[in-house]
Structure 1
Amino acid sequence: MGSSYHQFCPVAKAMELLDERWTLLVVRELVSGSQRFNELRRGLPRMSPSLLSRRLQQLVRAGVVARHADGSDVRYLLTDAGHELRPVVEALGAWGIRWVGELGEADLDPSLLLWDMHRHVDHSAVPDGRTVVHFHFRTLPADLRHWWLVITPGEVDVCDVDPGHEVNVTVTADLRALVEVWRGDLTWPAALRAGTVALAGPEALRRALPRWFELSDFAPVPRPVPSAGPVRA
């Protein structure tokens, strides 16, 4: 646990645990459904494994997370105390998307985007059987440019190496544009009209693809109406 604020205020006591770097993002991933260490790493791609391990140990000691081991299968599950942090995470995310709108280039991560998208597939809208969506981020370095989602009933795999299956639809996009679509800052039709996102494949699948994905949990959050500025006499 981090250093003490030496205040009896319960906000201060909570922040002694939660304001250490990455801690609340680990909780975010657990709230989002990740349970295994490698799943947590996929949702926190820029966090070192050693730091993730330390933060999990701290959360276990604090009673926020319980570690369950069944042989080599180790899962990290939220306790009652951990589940009570869900509205905290949701409120922070809603506040952040409403009031902290600017995204730097370093904030745009295809690994995190595809990991988040894979958790929001609407299986009832995807064709039966196996559906493969290839994502081509045209401006990224070669090792980050190509990603695949392999969607089967009840399961979605994220691949950064060609899985070898026939591709049903290819999404060619500027990473920023697809992130903005995902966050609800830009609509699919607007991105397609602008050419910052393009779809290739059979027409029926191209038309259907936006319905295959439920957007980020924070996409519906209302944004502030821009001020018209001071009224001049």
Structure 2
Amino acid sequence: MPSHYGQFCPVAKAMELLDERWTLLVVRELMMGSRHFNALRRGVPKMSPALLSKRLQTLVRAGVVERWEDGNRVSYRLTESGRELEPIVEALGRWGMRWISELGDEDLDPHLLLWDMHRGIDMEAVPDGRTVIGFVFPEMPSTCRRWWIVITADGVDACDFDPGHPVRVTVETSLRTMTRIWRGDLPWSAALRSGDLVLHGEPQARRALPRWLKLSSLAPTPRPPLADAVLTR
């Protein structure tokens, strides 16, 4: 059931809608360009389809999200009300990046990482034609150990199955290391020097890969000085 704080305060009224579990993450996915139910699911892989459907219905009723049908396909997008949440969600992300830096094992998710990474490809830096980037996370179970990002002129996709095309470069590293790189916590160069990350494939592709894969939009967020970070733990 939605929370009811029994206060006229606008913050309390807003949170009656927004503090339900997963709600702001669904808004985040719509901000990032997901429009269809299956795409939204890939951005919140640990959320059940039934709960996602329920949250979308709630946001539509609240006027935050618009639902429309194009033939047999249903799409979603933020309304004017929903778009006003964008700077709020971005500010929460910057705050979390700056002050809540610790990642537990339960926070690491290859599905979400590859889905986020596939949206950050620098299409101008990638060579023309099809480019396939492979990822191997040796410590993961066999069902989610290997991933691929397939880049073509028609778009970019993240795959957990072999797409059947030649791979230009393969990244072999732990899921934690790749997540830290994407978040901006660890430079590519440092991971390569330490041996925590190894690149296989065409020499030119190995050199160019950090230019192909943009980091999270929140990666440039300044972190607190080390002494301050220790004091907050």
TM class by shorter-chain length? Answer: over 0.9
Distance in structure 1 (CA, Å) of the matches to 2:227 and 2:199: 36
Identify the residue that residue 35 of structure 1 maps to in structure 2. Answer: 35
Identify the residue that residue 161 of structure 2 maps to in structure 1. Answer: 161
- Aligned-residue Cα RMSD (Å) equals 1.3
Identify the residue that residue 199 of structure 2 maps to in structure 1. Answer: 199
What is the CA-CA distance between 1:41 and the residue it aligns to?
0.3
Q: Deviations over 1:48-69 (max 9, x none)?
A: 0000000000000000000010
Distance in structure 2 (CA, Å) of the matches to 1:93 and 1:48: 23
Identify the residue that residue 67 of structure 1 maps to in structure 2. Answer: 67
Identify the residue that residue 57 of structure 2 maps to in structure 1. Answer: 57
What is the CA-CA distance between 1:3 and the residue it aligns to?
2.6
Moved more, 220-229 or 89-98: 220-229
- Contact 2:3/2:20 (CA < 8 Å) preserved in 1? no
Confirm or deny that 1:81 pairs with 2:81.
Answer: yes
SS at match of 2:133: strand
What is the CA-CA distance between 1:81 and the residue it aligns to?
0.3
Identify the residue that residue 223 of structure 1 maps to in structure 2. Answer: 223
Distance in structure 1 (CA, Å) of the matches to 2:37 and 2:117: 19
Match for 1:122: what amino acid? D
What is the CA-CA distance between 1:154 and the residue it aligns to?
4.5
How is 1:138-217 mapped onto 2 (pairs within 5 angstroms)?
Answer: 138-217=138-217
Match for 1:120: what amino acid? G
Provide structure 1 residue ranges, at least 5 long, that are not aligned to the other structure.
none
Distance in structure 2 (CA, Å) of the matches to 1:10 and 1:198: 51
How is 1:118-129 mapped onto 2 (pairs within 5 angstroms)?
Answer: 118-129=118-129
SS at match of 1:33: coil
What is the CA-CA distance between 1:72 and the residue it aligns to?
1.5
What is the CA-CA distance between 1:134 and the residue it aligns to?
0.7
- Contact 1:132/1:166 (CA < 8 Å) preserved in 2? yes
Distance in structure 2 (CA, Å) of the matches to 1:227 and 1:46: 35
Identity %: 63
Match for 1:216: what amino acid? S
Distance in structure 2 (CA, Å) of the matches to 1:227 and 1:200: 38
- Contact 1:60/1:66 (CA < 8 Å) preserved in 2? yes
What is the TM-score with the length of structure 2 in the denominator?
Answer: 0.96
What is the CA-CA distance between 1:71 and the residue it aligns to?
1.8
What is the CA-CA distance between 1:190 and the residue it aligns to?
0.4
SS at match of 1:227: helix
What is the CA-CA distance between 1:14 and the residue it aligns to?
0.4
Q: Deviations over 1:20-72 (max 9, x none)?
A: 00001100111111110000000000000000000000000000000010122
Identify the residue that residue 17 of structure 2 maps to in structure 1. Answer: 17
- Contact 2:139/2:174 (CA < 8 Å) preserved in 1? yes
Q: Deviations over 1:88-120 (max 9, x none)?
A: 100000000100111000110011000000100
4+ residue runs of structure 1 moved beyond 6 angstroms? none
- Contact 1:125/1:212 (CA < 8 Å) preserved in 2? yes
What is the CA-CA distance between 1:137 and the residue it aligns to?
0.5
Provide structure 2 residue ranges, at least 5 long, that are not aligned to the other structure.
none
Match for 2:74: what amino acid? V
SS at match of 2:134: strand
Distance in structure 2 (CA, Å) of the matches to 1:151 and 1:165: 11
